Amino acid sequence: MENLDLTLKSAQVVFVAFCADWCPFSRRLKPIWEEAAAKWHQDYPTSNVVWGLVDSVQQANVADKFFVNKYPTMKVFINGELITKEYRSTRSVEALTEFVKKQLEISINEFPTSEHLAASIDRRKRNVIAYFANRDSEEYQNFQKVASLLREDCAFWVGTNEALKAMNKNMLVFRDPGTDDEQQFSGNFNDYDFMKQWLMDKCIPLVREVTFENVEELTEEGLPFLLFFRDPNDKEGDKLYTELVMRELHDQKGAVNALLADGHKFAHPLRHLGKTEKDLPVLAIDSFQHMFLFPDMNELHLPGKLRQFVLDLHSGKLHKEFHETLDQRIAELQKVALEQVQQEHAGHAHGQPPKPPGHVPPETTPKPSIFKELRPSETRYSFLQKTEL
């Protein structure tokens, strides 16, 4: 803690490995980390980069400050600020140094004309388009810092054309992917925290796409998944679901993770729910204990239905209904079994062959969680059990 703030603010990029000597994965990483740091400083001696190492047993307060609960954990700080995504890729000298190199890449694209912007911009991405009257100003420095933090979430563009220069004022616009709808920043460009929060709200949407690449990261947020399984080509369905979440769950951002899921790639969770790709779209909650299926997709558009589904999870109603349904199902199975026995006895008394088994009530109880199986792997991390220390 003595040199933490000073170190984080001392370089553009600070790459930190949180390790523990008792962890075999940490012991394996440490010499690779030290070799990568030495190679980096040999190849780029003037770069504004610090490689850090935290002994998370000796410096438990530092690890706790950044909510480290598995080892090794590798976090990145840009201009003194923690970025949301951890490093989770290959633990090799080449992969680690390549990752740092990417953090130093220019995060802002320049466009000389509107025609150049139109030809270069990827409309599928979330784009931020800006112009600054003075590139040496605090306003532009604030923009640069936020762009470095959110480079993986948004594409950042700054204009240099004469038409914008003639305006002689700052401009900052967020362009929504696919629709080209624009929202203009009307706050104070000198207020870094306000600008950062505004851009984070735009670049990190309320509804995100879950993939096999980011699912580990999403599970670590610890929030239940509200999963909209759909055909990814159904852009209109994506839009309607996103609008529904924004309308009904705008105050639930810290209570549930609203996610889009490719119903073809995530076919296994669908089958687990008793559904197939023919049933798309399908809505379900994975609480990391059970998976709860939204009862009737035809009612999803009705006001309040989605909100109530999420509130019923947090109130415990869905779990309570799970146990009540389970008790009812057991009673129904017992009743069917008793009727079968009675029918067989009656048939034997009249010399009739045994009748086929009776109808078994359909499965109505929630399934165990599938997405908890996609949490960080125990073959890559040692998990901290604080009660044992």
Whether residues 114 and 99 share a domain: the answer is: no
- What pLDDT does residue 29 have? 97
Domain assignment present for residue 266? The answer is no
Whether residues 132 and 74 share a domain: the answer is: no
Whether residues 98 and 172 share a domain: the answer is: no
Domain assignment present for residue 387? The answer is no
- Whole-number Å distance between alpha carbons of 4 and 364: 53
Pairing of strands 171-175, 207-210: unpaired
Domains held by the chain: number: 2
Domain assignment present for residue 58? The answer is yes
pLDDT in tens, the chain (389 residues): 999 999 999 999 999 999 999 999 999 999 999 999 999 999 999 999 999 999 999 999 999 999 998 999 999 999 999 998 899 999 999 999 999 999 998 899 999 988 999 999 999 899 999 999 888 899 999 999 999 999 989 999 999 877 677 677 899 999 988 677 899 999 999 999 999 999 998 998 889 999 999 999 999 988 999 999 999 999 899 999 999 999 999 888 788 999 999 999 999 999 999 899 999 999 999 999 899 999 999 999 999 999 999 999 999 888 777 666 655 656 666 676 677 767 766 655 556 555 555 444 444 456 889 999 888 988 889 987 544 33
- Whole-number Å distance between alpha carbons of 150 and 124: 16
Domain assignment present for residue 99? The answer is yes
- What pLDDT does residue 350 have? 57
- What pLDDT does residue 56 have? 92
Determine the structural domain holding residue 182 and report its residue range.
Answer: 108-203
Residue 282 backbone phi and psi in degrees, to 5: -130, 135
Contact predicate 288/219, CB 8 Å: yes
Q: ∠ CA(112), CA(113), CA(116), 5° rounding?
A: 95
Domain end point (choices 186, 203, 220): 203
- What pLDDT does residue 254 have? 80
Domain end point (choices 103, 126, 158): 103
Whether residues 137 and 150 share a domain: the answer is: yes
Domain assignment present for residue 298? The answer is no
User: Residue 82 belongs to a domain with what CATH number?
Assistant: 3.40.30.10
- Whole-number Å distance between alpha carbons of 179 and 155: 16
Domain assignment present for residue 117? The answer is yes
- H/E/C letters for each residue in the chain? CCCHHHHHCCCCEEEEEEECCCCHHHHHHHHHHHHHHHHHHHHCCCCCEEEEEEECCCCHHHHHHCCCCEECEEEEEECCEECCCCECCCCCHHHHHHHHHHHCCCCEEEECCHHHHHHHCCCCCCEEEEECCCCCCHHHHHHHHHHHHCCCCCEEEEECCHHHHHHCCCEEEEECCCCCCEEECCCCCCCHHHHHHHHHHHHCCCEEEECCCCHHHHHCCCCCEEEEEECCCCHHHHHHHHHHHHHHCCCCCCCCEEEEEECCCCHHHHHHCCCCHHHCCEEEEECCCEEEECCCHHHCCCCCHHHHHHHHHHHCHHHHHHHHHHHHHHHHHHHHHHHHHHHHHHHHHCCCCCCCCCCCCCCCCCEECCHHHHCCCCCCCEECCHHHC
- What pLDDT does residue 1 have? 92
Domain end point (choices 178, 203, 228): 203
Whether residues 121 and 68 share a domain: the answer is: no
- What pLDDT does residue 333 have? 60
- Whole-number Å distance between alpha carbons of 75 and 65: 12
- Whole-number Å distance between alpha carbons of 91 and 117: 38
Whether residues 78 and 112 share a domain: the answer is: no
Domain assignment present for residue 210? The answer is no
Contact predicate 178/123, CB 8 Å: yes
Whether residues 56 and 96 share a domain: the answer is: yes
Whether residues 13 and 91 share a domain: the answer is: yes
- Whole-number Å distance between alpha carbons of 198 and 203: 9
Place of tokens 């740092």: 100
- CB atoms under 10 Å from CB of 5, counted, come to 10
Domain assignment present for residue 178? The answer is yes
